[in-house]
Amino acid sequence: MSFSLKMMNNNKSQSNRIQSVKMESAKMKSANTGYYGQKLYRKHLHLYINEKSQRNNMKQKTSILALASYLPDKKITNQDLEKILDTSNEWIVKRTGIANRHIMTDQDTVTSMAISNCAPLIEIAAKEKRAITSVIVATSTSLTMPSIACQVCNHYDIDNAFAFDVNAACSGFIYALNLANDRIKNHQEDCILVIGVDAMSQIIDWKDRSTAVLFGDGSGAVLLNRSDRSGLVAIKCGSSANGSEMLKTESKNGQSQLTMQGKEVFKYAVEKLFQAASNLLSEHHIDVESIDWIVPHQANIRILQQLMKKLCIPEHKLILTLKNHANTSAASIPLALDSATKSGKIKRGDRLLFLAFGAGFTWGAAILDY
């Protein structure tokens, strides 16, 4: 039996159950059945309401209402790195695809980037008269307590929100999107703020050529709402039972610094990103040709080029911001999404595939009709 036929049968079966409950409840209500009869009637009515609610939730999607991004003013070019590292602009561009990266100034913090990033989205929510009920922040470079999410709520006077930070490294934004989707689908929330923010400059050994050239700082955010039209089609996140030692931070001279086994991470990243995309497409019976744009975590140009070949997707469908943003970890997907939307590449109605791979190893994939 085909997938679509199964869905039709399931919907028909559910409709029949609801109709049956409605008819039986109506009979009970009209009959003078006393206390226990009325109790049974209320039970049947409760079941009917629950089934109707579940059916309505199936129709609702997690949709992107608005986007925003923030990059620190300070910029470090490959030419700047040539002065402190045994490297060259040509080598960095060829190996990574990166030319520039933004770095926090002394006035910036991870929290301040997130707060600045959210300002236009807070205004949009206010204009739309939507109360933000959840704030979820993806970050792996926050060393603060309380969470960045709670500090954002404090700054913008967002009261009674479900607010917390999630650390899934470079996969963090898709993890946060997955959690937000659950809040909308299963907790009847209507307006959620999701932020990806990281300051990789805080954990880089600037004398280590293998990592110093790769990363930058920034923040990207989305305002999500409930929609019965476009939105999230499929999403899945996970982690591997190995690899935690290949990409991690460790204490050096009293500071947390990033270490990476580059070749091994490269191999794992290409294969896991391919598996995540292929499995999601297959499980939800989605043709890869229906994807208009791939918006991946901006890790490395060679990783992304190999991924596109394995997926048999032409490179002109790949959204790239590596050249000017570098790898901003959890911020990279929302930053790339905002950049491509503002440039006019991504338009409403386009089908997007988000992909990410991070320390852990963690991974995530999502398909969204924008």
Among 199, 207, 212, 206, residue whose Cα is nearest residue 104: 199
Q: Which of 194, 227, 260 is the last residue of a domain?
A: 227
Catalytic residue among 78, 117, 178, 327: 327
Among 229, 333, 232, 346, residue whose Cα is nearest residue 286: 232
97/43 same-domain check: no
CA dist 222 and 337 (Å) reads: 9
* Range(s) of the domain holding residue 316: 231-369
220/75 same-domain check: yes
Q: Which of 211, 227, 243 is the last residue of a domain?
A: 227
CATH of the domain at 274: 3.40.47.10
Quote the pLDDT of residue 6. 42
142/187 same-domain check: yes
286/310 same-domain check: yes
Say whether 364 sits in a helix, a strand or coil: strand
CA dist 68 and 342 (Å) reads: 10
pTM of the model: 0.85
CA dist 209 and 92 (Å) reads: 10
CA dist 227 and 335 (Å) reads: 23
Angle between helices 110-127 and 148-156 (to 10 degrees): 50
Query: pLDDT tens across 127-169, in order?
Result: 999 999 999 999 999 878 999 999 999 999 999 999 999 999 9
Catalytic residue among 44, 102, 297, 325: 297
187/205 same-domain check: yes
54/66 same-domain check: no
Q: Is 46 a catalytic residue?
A: no
* Dihedral over Cα of 76, 328, 360, 133: its sign: positive
141/281 same-domain check: no
| Structural domains counted in the chain | 3
* Dihedral over Cα of 84, 90, 95, 96: its sign: positive
Q: Is 170 a catalytic residue?
A: yes
Quote the pLDDT of residue 5. 42
66/46 same-domain check: no
84/219 same-domain check: yes
How many CB atoms are located within 10 Å of the residue 145 CB? 8
69/120 same-domain check: yes
Catalytic residue among 150, 170, 191, 237: 170
Phi, psi of 321, deg, nearest 5 = -125, 10
Quote the pLDDT of residue 3. 39
Tokens of residue 327, six digits = 């790898």
Beta strands in the chain (DSSP E): 61-70, 74-77, 100-103, 134-138, 162-166, 191-199, 217-227, 231-239, 247-252, 255-260, 293-296, 351-358, 362-369
CA dist 141 and 197 (Å) reads: 8
Q: Is 167 a catalytic residue?
A: no
Cis peptide before 357 (omega within 30 of 0): no
109/249 same-domain check: no
Q: Which of 227, 251, 281 is the last residue of a domain?
A: 227
Query: pLDDT tens across 326-359, in order?
Result: 999 999 999 999 999 999 999 999 999 999 999 9
Residue ranges of the chain whose pLDDT lies below 70: 1-59
96/212 same-domain check: yes
Quote the pLDDT of residue 2. 44
